[in-house]
Structures are given as structure tokens and as C-alpha cells.
Structure 1
């Protein structure tokens, strides 16, 4: 059985796609026996790294990897990750040691919430799990509510996703600080 591989056009597209946020479709093919698989690749640009998730064959199971966004060979690394994932191999040699530390779960979840523009998310913030509700305003901005127990704050984020992430991360940081200070004062 031949391995499923990306074609040359997909490799060229990946070189550009690793610098973008979004979800991309790639078809991998094998010659003998002739078959193909459609893979969905989601790329999220973060502060120090990029997070790549691959889903294939309509499965709900997806595998993700975090890569250093400063490397010039990320297109080839993502291609290896896609091919390894679809063929059921381990993606050895794709991420370097400790690259996964470049993107926190919290940053990834905040960026995902902004990209999706709607929904409810429970954020990993140490011992606290604040709830984030986000919806896209018709003019492009975002309406946001952060909540822990009975404490809540509402605000609007700008339409620009980079600025929106920065403002959201800052509001969350201050909200958690104020919540912890209130708990300490009540104790």
C-alpha cells in the first residue's frame, strides 16, 4: 500500500498558508491502489508560534502541533505533519523539543473564540475557569462577557482580530486580578 502524499501545488500553497489564519482543504493521493483523502488543516497564528490542527476522513478526532512561527521551513514541516497524520504515523521530527510551550492553551482558546466570533468558552486560568461568551456584532466588532460565579464584566472588542486579541487578553488578566483581590479581601 502506497503512502498518501500531498502534490506539488499543495506544498506551494502551504508555504503561504502557514503565514495566515484559517482553515484549508488539501487532498492527499496514493497511486497503487489509487485512492485519495481530504484533509482539513486549521492554522492559528499566535504570539510566538503557530498552532496547526489536522482532521481527515470526516473524523472528529484531530491532531494538533505547535511550531515556532519564526522558522522559514514551516511549510515543509506542516506538510510532513499532514502526511504523517493521514498515514497514521507519528509526526516525529515535525515539532522541535519544547516548541509546544510557545503557545499556551489560554492564548489558543482566546484566539479561537475571536476567529469563530461566537460561542461560550471555559478558559483554563489556573484554579479558576472563567466563562467567556462572545458574539459578533453586525458592524464587525465583538460583544464579550467574562463571568466567574456572580462576578461578570461586559465589553466590546474592535473588529480587527489582532487588536481584539490584545484587548481581550488584557481585560481577562485584569478581571482575574480583580476577582482574586476580591476573594482575598473577603477572606
Structure 2
């Protein structure tokens, strides 16, 4: 059986989509007219793009350096490797996966979904984030940890909301650690 590849229009669209946030559907096909759909979710992070690919019941993800000009081609190769049943290798460079932390992924996912409860991986602490959309289109967020809480109103612009949420979480955790040190 011949290899599944992205269609030419899909490859061209993917070149532009790697610079956006969103979920996109692409079709891969081969010479025998077999086709398969791939759902590609792209999240722009501070230093990387976080790419998740779902084909059938498989899901794979990769973090790629945001500033590389060949990311469209790299994501296309990643999708095609998965569709053809190969291990997705040779796509990220060494240590490229370290450009996005689990904390950043979780905060961005919370903002993208706009509601829910999230347990944040923050070193030895595990604060809880409760988030929901407010009637003005922005977000209401609450960070909780062992009885301490911080309530935030965040703007609708997810870039600004992420920056504010990350900075306030950093301050909250610093204050929590400082208060533990003072009590000791």
C-alpha cells in the first residue's frame, strides 16, 4: 500500500495554520484512493507551538520551536508519519519539547476551554485553578491552595489573559512560599 500524504491544498493551508491558534481538519490520501482525516490542534505558546494530532483513536503531540521558518513542513511530516503508522521521529530537535512546560500547557488549555477545574503542576505545590467565562466575554479565575485563594478577572484576549494568569499565579505561589517560610 502506498503512503498516505497530505493533499496539496491541505499542505498549503497548514503552512499558514502553524502561526495560528485553533483546531483544523486535514485529509490525507494515497494512490489507491484511501483517505483518512486528521484533526490538528495548534496552540501558540511563549517559545514554541504545541501541536496535537488526532487520527482515528490515536493522539500524538509535539512542541516545536516557534521561531523556525520550516514548522509547516515539520508538522506535515509529523502528521504523515502518524497516519502511516510510523513512530513520529525526526520532527522535534533535541530538547525542543522543553520549550513548553506542563504548567503553561495547562493554563493555556484552561483558557481555551473557558471553564473547569485544573490542578496545576507547580513544583512541589499543586494549586487548583477554577476558571469560567464571565458575561463580558473575559474570564473569572480563582487560584486555591490549602485555604488560601486569589480571585482574578481576566480579559477576553487569551494572550493577555494568559500573561496575567501566569504572572498572578507566580506571585501567589511566591507569597504562599514566603508565608510558609515566615511561619517556620
After superposition, where does 1:1-187 map in structure 2 within 5 Å? 1-32=1-32, 34-57=33-56, 59=57, 61-187=58-184
TM-score by length of 1: 0.95
Give the match's secondary structure for 2:36: strand
Mean Cα deviation higher: 7-16 or 89-98: 89-98
CA RMSD of the aligned region, Å? Answer: 1.1
- Runs of 4 or more, structure 1, over 3 Å off, are none
Instruction: Determine helix, strand or coil for the equivalent of 1:39.
Output: strand
Q: How far did 1:138 drift?
A: 2.0
Residues 100-133 of structure 1: per-residue CA shift (max 9 Å, x gap): 1111111111111111111111111011111111
Give ranges in structure 1 of 5+ residues lacking alignment: none
Q: Distance in 2 between matches of 1:185 and 1:100?
A: 37
CA distance in 2, matches of 1:181, 1:42: 38
**TM-score if structure 2 supplies the norm length?**
0.96
Q: Distance in 1 between matches of 2:38 and 2:135?
A: 32
Gaps of 5+ in 2: none
State the Cα deviation string for residues 62-93 of structure 1 (Å, max 9, x = none).
Answer: 11101011111110000000111122212222
